[in-house]
Amino acid sequence: MRTSSSDRDERGAIAVVAALVSVVLFGFAALAVDVAQLVNEKQELHDTLDMAAQTGAGMLPADGDGARAAALANAGNNDPDATPEIDFFCVVGSKPSGGGHAVETAHIPLSCDPGPPPYTGVSCDASICAIPCFPAQGGLCNTLRARDDKVVPFVFGPVISIDEGDTGTLTSVACKGACGSVPPNPMDLVVVGDRTGSMGSTIDDLEDAIEGLLEFLSPELHHVALGTIGRSSSSAPASCPSRPSGSRSSGPWIAAGFSSSYDTTDVEPPTRPPVLSSSDPLARAVGCISETNSSTGTYLAAPMRAARELLAGATSRPAPVHKAIIFMTDGEPNESTNPGDGYPYSRNGTTACQNAVDEASSAKAAGVLVVTIAFRLEDVRCDGGGSPFVTSRLAAMASPRSDGTASLDDGGGAGPGCNTTAKVDGENADGDYFFCTPTPSALAPIFQTAASQIVQSTRLIRLP
């Protein structure tokens, strides 16, 4: 049998086509290996940037240069080829404005301080605003962004003239502290508020501040109790568990125990004004603080001990839980009568202040983080004359910050007393656990910042 020339040509063409197809298929198969490697390199770069951003943000807001160096060093340790671009932001809450959202200036300088307004390059969503921040110009930034891309040489791709691939620019952003939104960590928190006669009408601002704090927090994560200066009545009605006692020696210091149902409409961002549960004992106790001032004097050590004891007996939860006290007062101690039940007290103001410091030290020794807030205490002393300033004792009650530096009444280095704007701003932005203000409207953002300061978490976020 003879094969025609056309059959031979056909078979030859098929062989050529088969060879070409084999080369193409091999090329694409080889390219698939390279693409898989590119995907792997992209994930590794993403992980490297995440770790670098969180490492650097851990040094904010105090040390911007150190944060940059730490981020770059961490990236280099994980990937010698990584050279991320580092920049900084001050991330705070946002508020509705003209159909959009604007910077919640009450969070500045509590959370961070990008410098004086106007702010340029700001981006906002319904929860947070990101303001460009420059440590070299004195900005106190709470957020670090790391960006990088990577060219990955291909091994097999050159067969089909594709020599390399690019991961594209990847970005990781880490924020430390409040970051304009709800702290993410579980927390058992006792809030102790001063509603004695010296508060006067600003007791309304205290109520607003604690209600705002409850709306800011998340009940599932953050279990909260309310303590008061002075005591609540042991016969207070269910509609107002925090109604003041008429006695210095009877009634609880804790008006409402731990609650995880104070905000049944928990939303992000928080509602304005706060909308809390109408049936929850804690929400009710907070909601009637402004009903009347207490007339039984300013006791400091006793409510601090009561808060510590409540936390010591709190039922444990599965996840590690931060235990904390936010303690706010507007006056020097006035402890004229033994409160009974073994609570410490002293008619001598200096001793009474020291008792409060000792009780706070016991709480800290038990793993409780203590945050103190001084309200309108400029130049007020524990017992007149040459006795210590109340602000210095409140600072001593507060916990050291995460780098081990003690909380101080130093105006962030501008000087003690919290009696000038510079000192107040400096004190509230220095990263420790002592805050102060002479301004009633500042109580709300201070309470929220204090709650975020407690967890001091560094977490990855997405910028608006």
Residue 182 confidence (pLDDT) above 80: no
The enclosing domain of 284 has a CATH number of 3.40.50.410
pLDDT tens, 399-425? 987 678 899 999 888 888 888 888 888
pLDDT tens, 138-180? 999 999 999 999 888 887 767 667 777 888 899 999 998 778 8
Task: Characterize 143-161 residue by residue with b for buried, 16 or more Cβ atoms within 10 angstroms of its Cβ, and e for exposed.
Answer: bbbbebebebebebbebee
CA Rg value for the chain: 30
**Domain that residue 90 falls in:** 16-176
Say yes or no: 292 and 199 in one domain: yes
pLDDT value at residue 269: 59
pLDDT tens, 197-237? 999 999 999 999 999 899 888 898 899 999 999 999 999 99
Is residue 383 in some structural domain? Answer: yes
Is residue 437 in some structural domain? Answer: no
C-beta pairs of 70-78 under 8 Å, 24+ apart in sequence: 71/144, 71/146, 75/48, 75/49, 75/51, 75/146, 75/148, 78/47, 78/48, 78/51, 78/52
Please name the residues in contact with 140: beta carbons below 8 A apart, sequence gap of 6 or more. Answer: 60, 61, 62, 90, 109, 112, 113, 114, 133, 429
Is residue 419 in some structural domain? Answer: no
**Mean pLDDT, residues 366-386 taken together:** 93
pLDDT value at residue 1: 47
Say yes or no: 152 and 53 in one domain: yes
- Where is the domain boundary, 351, 377, 398? 398
Per the structure, the count of domains in the chain is 2
Is residue 435 in some structural domain? Answer: no
pLDDT tens, 325-367? 999 999 999 999 999 999 999 999 999 999 999 999 999 999 9
What whole-number distance in Å separates Cα of residue 149 and Cα of residue 404? 37
